[in-house]
Amino acid sequence: MKKFLSAMLLLLVFTLVGCSSDKNTIQFWTPLTGEDGAYMDELVDKYNETDPEFKVEHVVTSDMYTKMYTVLNSGNGIPDLSIIHADRVPSFVKQDLLEPMTKVMEAQPEIKAENFLEEAWNAGNVEGTQYTVPLDIHSNAMYFNKDLMKKYGVENWLDDNVVTFDEMLSLQGKLEEGDYVLNDALISWVILAQIQNLGGSIEEGGKPAVNTPEMKQAIEAVKQLSDAGLMTPYGEDGYLMFQSGNVLFSTDGTWSSTGHAQVEGLNFGVTNIYAFEPSTFHNRASSHLFSMLTNEERTDEKEQGIADFLEFIRQNSIKWAEAGQIVASKEVVESPEYDEYMQSFFTSTPEEEESLYIYTYEHYPYIQEALDTYVADMIHGEIDVDTGLAEMQKFVEDKVSEGSLDIENAETEEATEE
């Protein structure tokens, strides 16, 4: 079996090496396996039509982080450019796996902090060094059914753009059979937003902190909605139930606007994730970041080519808005054309932009995995909250004790983010 696995590993390495043999091509890896991959293909094609010295080859793979681990260990087939998620940056930098964007920024002076959304730019900055250039922010969002809100006389809930727990609880016992106030889509992201609303954290002194008073309060608050019969039943597809017109609020992602828009007759809008009070609200977010894995064979000329491509993206990424993403380029975000996209709501005011919170804690992927594993069971009463919190804390601590987070671990966001 070991010989078989070794042979397969070598075959994978040789395959990847073969893909990047053209010295005049920028091989560009992304985990964009959904419809967003097609939008990126279009952007790459438009760039290549400008006849650059270094054309870009877009390679989409569902197990990108595992492949990165393979090629970095072998030293062969390392891509020239890649997209990674924001929460990967700290561990990549700690392991010396990323090259700074210093030369790229020197080659294209408009690639600088003031030309990008602050939260997205800062996600790639470690101790004053910029390791990434942002493509977007993709965030948790709450879609609302306009017709149902009118039916139940709660349109005023959106006057301040924040729906509260108390407002939702006021509908207990008042819904027609088959109707629900909210679903449990991306429920772990909703919990992370509440942690910020409560002033909590997921780390203490650099160590992961999951079993905290704020985490308990957040989970119990959402559980109260479930216990009141306001949340779609456990195991049911609440996302589809929203699209069917039976749910007031769906807490999925900014990219989901494209899917909802395809549903005939669904009269919907978007607002912030629900909160305890209107004055304090957050939306858990992440970012797709352009990065360069450490590679001694990458030439200065190719870095110039990468800089040219990233500057093209900065100016022309309105196409990326079609994927439902919050574009990171301020030039695009501030254009009148961008206002046509639903996710422009999240950059419409300074307060909305500040609500986008990107977690960059080194061990965040473990915490996300723990939440995805336990939170739904706690909210729906399948497991006691205190028991679940203790098990989550142990889950994360066990992961950390196994060793530093490295790129061979599966990226949980690949399964949930577009």
pLDDT tens column, 156-190: 999 999 999 999 999 999 999 999 999 999 999 99
Residue with tokens 């500057």: 311
Fold of 2-135+287-316: D-Maltodextrin-Binding Protein; domain 2 (3.40.190)
The pLDDT of residue 414 is above 50: no
Say yes or no: domain 139-285+361-404 is CATH 3.90.1280.10. no
pLDDT at residue number 195:
98
Question: For all residues of the chain together, what is the average pLDDT?
Answer: 92
CATH 3.40.190.10 residue ranges for the chain:
2-135+287-316, 139-285+361-404
Whether residue 8 is predicted with pLDDT greater than 50 in this model: the reply is no
Could you report the per-residue pLDDT of 79-119, keeping only the tens digit for each?
Answer: 999 999 999 999 999 999 999 999 999 999 999 999 999 99
Question: Sorting pLDDT into bands at 50, 70 and 90, what band is 411?
Answer: very low
Question: pLDDT tens digits for 47-77?
Answer: 999 999 999 999 998 899 999 989 998 889 9
Q: Check whether 356 has a pLDDT greater than 90.
A: yes
